[in-house]
Structure 1
Amino acid sequence: MTMTAGISTDRLHAWEDHLRATYLDTGVLPNALTLVYRRGEIVHQHAQGFADVEAGVALRDDHIFRIYSMTKPITSLAFMMLVEDGKVALGDPVSRVIPEWANLGVWTGGELGRFTSEPPRRPMLMVDLLRHTAGLSYHIQQGGRLDGAYRALGLGTTTTLEGMITALADLPLEYAPGEAWHYSFATDVLGAVVGRIAEQPFEEFVRQRILGPLGMVDTDFSVAPDKAGRFMPCYALTPQGRVLYDARATSPYLAAPHFVSGGGGLVSTAADYLRFCRMLLRGGELDGARLIGPKTLELMTRNHLPGGADIATLMRSAIAASETGSAGVGFGLGFAVTLDPARSLRIGNAGDFYWGGAAGTYFWIDPTEDLAVIFMTQLLLSPDRVRDDLRTFVYSAITDSPTRPRTLA
């Protein structure tokens, strides 16, 4: 058995065989890149499949991916940097920065143009935006009371970020703040909050305070012309099979975005996102650049759901159920947090934290194991099982796992 940093590399090669046979050769995934980092070194990195299926371009380690909701932890970090700067606090009302929202009500009936509402029991707080308990919804949600109105108003699509803030001021909340965990535009709103507090465009704050210091040279809200050759198409899985969703040559990511999305707007590479993960593993610092203090990061990766509940108890949305596993999983300030691996039915440790993106990208960090794992692909509606399989293969490859359980509130 070949070992590196306490991990069986033979077992990780078995993961690649499983990935190819189960998901690539069957035509489900167009491509896949897996990166495993432990104890200060990359112990496994392998790319399979085609970045561009139609053109027959093989996937490379330096290809640029749409990371969608893996943007959310970066936006959350940006906000917490402002907390450390003393410019805002988790318990501040959101209306302190967005005064247009001072009179938001909670839905009681009606539809767009004829909504009725009642005052919430308490105001929406900044912490609600970070943990998805703000009462907002998402244009990608289905079956809720507000998501149809979000789509009709073009929120997140035809509006600008500030235009979305203005439009939401005239809509009720889906739920009272703190009542439910409902995956939403909350992190996009958080991006607007960061921009207003920092008195600069949100995207510039992210570039200057996070991407630049970390050396994430291929991560941005659009793809520069000199990098377009490394950008990939995005596919989608439908009942009829895999189809092309966003062609590389005509992708909106090749130009500056109309809507700057802190919830899902970044593109990145596996190497860049590893730098972000390494910073988190090191308590907020990488290569001499400290972005945030270790105690702040510790706070971010604890469960912040009201009453210490898990997501299963408070979830009101089908979207993102696959991200969390729901039972035995809490939510911190920008990340899902494993509370009890036995209840989640996933291998891991209490205290590992993670999130994924709509096109199948995924990462997790396990401080107990000094471990970071990144998975990249470009397939909307990709099978949930891929991520669970990856966790199983990676953890089963660890041969010297320490036993330092972490208690989470």
Structure 2
Amino acid sequence: MKQATMITMAAALLATGAWAGQAEHAPRPTPQPSVRASPLPTTQALFDAYVRDGKMPGITAAFGVGDAAPVFVSAGRIADDSTVAAGPDTLWRIYSMTKPVTAMAAMILVEEGKLRLDQPVSDILPAFRTMRVLTDPANSLASRPAARPITIRHLLTHTAGLGYNIVTKGPLLGEYERLGILPGAANEAVEVQARRVRPTSLQAFADRVATLPLIADPGTRWSYSIGLDLMGAVIERVSGHPFERFLRTRLFAPLKMNSTYFAVPAAEAGRLATNYAFVGANRVPLDPARGSVFLRPPSFPYGGAGLVSSARDYDRFLHMLANGGQLDGVRVMKAETARLAMSNLLPPGVTFQGIGGGTGGTQGSGAPMGYGAGGSVYLADRAGGPSRGTYGWGGAAGTIAYVDPVRQTRGTIMVNYFPAERWLLRQEVPAALLRDLAR
């Protein structure tokens, strides 16, 4: 496969005119103001403006406080060429917001004693027993033996020394692409190329990853990675069930997350939003809903970036975490497990200072941050912002999710476009919410 990430390849296809006609003629949706007064009028006005100004075809958010039902705020439509309004049950590609889901599945196994945070991954996947570390990552694949084994904690916190095709550079990126270490989907055009080299099962994926050198000794550095994709293979091996089935039976079914999928069923395809990309000032369809790559099963379930979900469903996941592991009288994990998962789990001496660059992850905020199971954690109150202990993560197509355990609040914002940082949702939506709360 060429030396380019999947998203970069997709953008290149757009830039060379693969969707040129759509880029020139894509209709702009008309604003759809709410028929009834919104309980969050400033936020509603902001969303209406996003659509009116052509920044996005549609947007939906779910905000919750305590055990009250979530408040949904929506504007626009699921695609430029659709008449279907965006809403609580619209399906969006959540990309890296899959990571907290996979991490909580792993924490269930930690709670049950089937995993330990500081257990070597090689206990479960023996191929990882002898890992090596690059000595000159910018220029060669030369390596030395790793100082210590990769642990479950390292996979959960991106401190395993693993890379990621969306951020890795140098010769190692070439090896990731040659071996198909590409756990994600952009659109059908990119998928055709990725499937030529990508492994077809989680266990085959894990075996290939084990042959590659690390970018740093495990436990010494935060580096965004395929750790949560690899965790899917761990969960599969330890639980004795396919990873997707484990998520379905232990999280999605108990939480009534009935609109969360690795592949959208044909009967639900009409709810799927189109994913867009910006080429210069033009917003063009990257993965049109009608022919989306998410309408068919992936090569294997990507624990780091594979899920499609709705604002209603993801709010139920966050509500469970805010409630200490239970929702509507159904417990999926103990309160102490939920607290542990949303606490700073970084190895001693390792820090997290935010990440950007189109990943959708938490950016640097000036407030000290740590990293928990699959998501960032604020280590101090941020003036006018999140409380200490706020846990969350985002997705590459602009989605955002957080839980503030002090204020007992939670939020999910659903959009679909690349790059995630095209618009300042992370700054503008909280500011609008604060103005609404001040009323």
TM-score normalised by length of structure 1: 0.88
Question: How far does the alpha carbon of each residue in 1:342-375 deviate from its partner, in whole angstroms, 9 at most, with x for none?
Answer: 4xx7712111111111111111111111111111
CA contact (8 A) 2:342 2:377 kept: yes
Alignment of 1:147-162 (within 5 A): 147-155=173-181, 156=183, 157=194, 158-160=198-200, 161-162=202-203
Task: Name 1:331's counterpart in structure 2.
Answer: 371
Alignment of 1:303-382 (within 5 A): 303-307=344-348, 310-312=351-353, 318=357, 320=359, 323-325=362-364, 327=366, 328-342=368-382, 347-382=385-420
Q: Secondary structure at the match of 1:334?
A: coil
Q: Secondary structure at the match of 1:214?
A: coil
CA contact (8 A) 1:183 1:317 kept: no
CA separation of 1:321/1:37 partners in 2, compared to 1, >3 Å: closer, same or farther?
closer
Q: Distance in 2 between matches of 1:307 and 1:393?
A: 37
CA contact (8 A) 2:61 2:73 kept: yes
Q: Secondary structure at the match of 2:207?
A: helix
State the shift of 1:177 in Å.
Answer: 0.8
Question: How far does the alpha carbon of each residue in 1:175-230 deviate from its partner, in whole angstroms, 9 at most, with x for none?
Answer: 11112111110000011100011112100111111111111111121111211111
Q: Distance in 1 between matches of 2:400 and 2:409?
A: 14
Task: Name 1:231's counterpart in structure 2.
Answer: 272
1:215 to 231, 240, 256: 256
Question: How far does the alpha carbon of each residue in 1:105-134 deviate from its partner, in whole angstroms, 9 at most, with x for none?
Answer: 00113799x722111221111100000001
Question: How far does the alpha carbon of each residue in 1:6-36 deviate from its partner, in whole angstroms, 9 at most, with x for none?
Answer: xxx9783112222333x32332222111221
Amino acid at match of 1:281: A
Amino acid at match of 1:253: F
Q: Secondary structure at the match of 1:354?
A: strand
Amino acid at match of 1:153: L
Task: Name 2:163's counterpart in structure 1.
Answer: 137
CA separation of 1:10/1:45 partners in 2, compared to 1, >3 Å: closer, same or farther?
closer
Question: How far does the alpha carbon of each residue in 1:326-355 deviate from its partner, in whole angstroms, 9 at most, with x for none?
Answer: 64221111221112344xx77121111111
CA separation of 1:241/1:86 partners in 2, compared to 1, >3 Å: closer, same or farther?
same
Task: Name 1:294's counterpart in structure 2.
Answer: 335
CA contact (8 A) 1:354 1:364 kept: yes
Amino acid at match of 1:363: A
Task: Name 2:42's counterpart in structure 1.
Answer: 14
Question: How far does the alpha carbon of each residue in 1:158-187 deviate from its partner, in whole angstroms, 9 at most, with x for none?
Answer: 223223212212210011111211111000
Structure 1 residue runs of 4 or more that deviate by more than 6 Å after TM superposition: none
Question: How far does the alpha carbon of each residue in 1:294-334 deviate from its partner, in whole angstroms, 9 at most, with x for none?
Answer: 1111111111223365412xx79856485232642211112
Amino acid at match of 2:219: G
Q: Secondary structure at the match of 2:76?
A: strand
1:389 to 416, 421, 428: 428
CA contact (8 A) 2:43 2:73 kept: no
Whichever structure has more strand as a proportion of its residues is 1
Q: Distance in 2 between matches of 1:110 and 1:72?
A: 26
Q: Distance in 2 between matches of 1:240 and 1:384?
A: 12
Q: Secondary structure at the match of 2:166?
A: coil
2:108 to 72, 77, 81: 81
Q: Distance in 2 between matches of 1:115 and 1:144?
A: 9
CA separation of 1:324/1:306 partners in 2, compared to 1, >3 Å: closer, same or farther?
farther
Amino acid at match of 2:148: R
CA separation of 1:346/1:322 partners in 2, compared to 1, >3 Å: closer, same or farther?
farther
State the shift of 1:276 in Å.
Answer: 0.8
Task: Name 1:33's counterpart in structure 2.
Answer: 60
Q: Which runs of 5+ in 2 are unaligned?
A: 1-36, 184-193
Q: Percent identity?
A: 35
Amino acid at match of 1:49: G
State the shift of 1:56 in Å.
Answer: 3.9
Q: Distance in 2 between matches of 1:321 and 1:59?
A: 21
Q: Secondary structure at the match of 1:243?
A: strand
* CA RMSD of superposed structures (Å): 2.4
Q: Distance in 1 between matches of 2:56 and 2:216?
A: 36
CA contact (8 A) 2:64 2:70 kept: yes
Task: Name 1:275's counterpart in structure 2.
Answer: 316
CA contact (8 A) 1:182 1:316 kept: no
CA separation of 1:19/1:91 partners in 2, compared to 1, >3 Å: closer, same or farther?
same
Task: Name 1:122's counterpart in structure 2.
Answer: 148
Q: Secondary structure at the match of 2:233?
A: helix
CA separation of 1:287/1:308 partners in 2, compared to 1, >3 Å: closer, same or farther?
farther
Q: Distance in 2 between matches of 1:268 and 1:329?
A: 27
CA separation of 1:38/1:111 partners in 2, compared to 1, >3 Å: closer, same or farther?
closer
Q: Secondary structure at the match of 1:51?
A: coil
Q: Distance in 1 between matches of 2:309 and 2:357?
A: 27
The answer to whether structure 1 residue 48 and structure 2 residue 48 are counterparts is no
State the shift of 1:388 in Å.
Answer: 2.0
Question: How far does the alpha carbon of each residue in 1:269-301 deviate from its partner, in whole angstroms, 9 at most, with x for none?
Answer: 111111111111110011222111111111111
TM-score normalised by length of structure 2: 0.82
CA separation of 1:311/1:320 partners in 2, compared to 1, >3 Å: closer, same or farther?
farther
